[in-house]
Each structure stands twice: as C-alpha cells, then as structure tokens.
Amino acid sequence: MKEYRIKNLRNVGIIGHSGTGKTSLAEALLYYTKSIDRLGKVEEGTTTTDFDSEEKKKQISLQA
C-alpha cells in the first residue's frame, strides 16, 4: 500500500439524494486526480467505491 504524508491528505464529503450521481462524481474526481487509471461506471459495476456484490447488483452504494 502506498504511503502518503499527512499534509497531502484531504477528506471529502459528497452529499446528495439517491441516484443523483455521487458515485460517478467520486469516480471522476479519483480519475481526474490520477488516483485511478480508468473511469469506472455504475451500470457496469466497475466503480472504485462500489466493490461489494450487493452494491454492484443494486447499482447503489450501501456504505457511507
């Protein structure tokens, strides 16, 4: 696991109603900042933040 200096860490909260694109926004932010090398899609079950099988099946994030 890559180590980061504390001064380089940021906490971000994304808040919105169900189905408004929070996961897609998080995925785009990770991709834009080069934290991930591919842009996943909720519909394909390839997002970084939705890794649980139930999340992929229901196409909705279950953890906050």
Query: What are the two backbone dihedrals, phi and then psi, of residue 32, each rounded to the nearest 5 degrees?
Result: -60, -35
Helix, strand, coil abundance in the chain, percent, nearest 5: 35, 0, 65
Per-residue pLDDT reduced to its tens digit, 31-45: 999 999 999 888 888
How far, in Å, CA of 26 to CA of 1, rounded? Answer: 21
Domain residue ranges of the chain, discontinuous segments joined by +? 20-58
User: Does the global pTM surpass 0.75?
Assistant: no
CA-based torsion, 29, 34, 41, 9: positive or negative: negative
Q: What is the pLDDT of residues 11-27, one digit of tens each?
A: 889 999 988 988 899 99
Instruction: Tell me which H or E stretch contains 56.
Output: helix 53-58
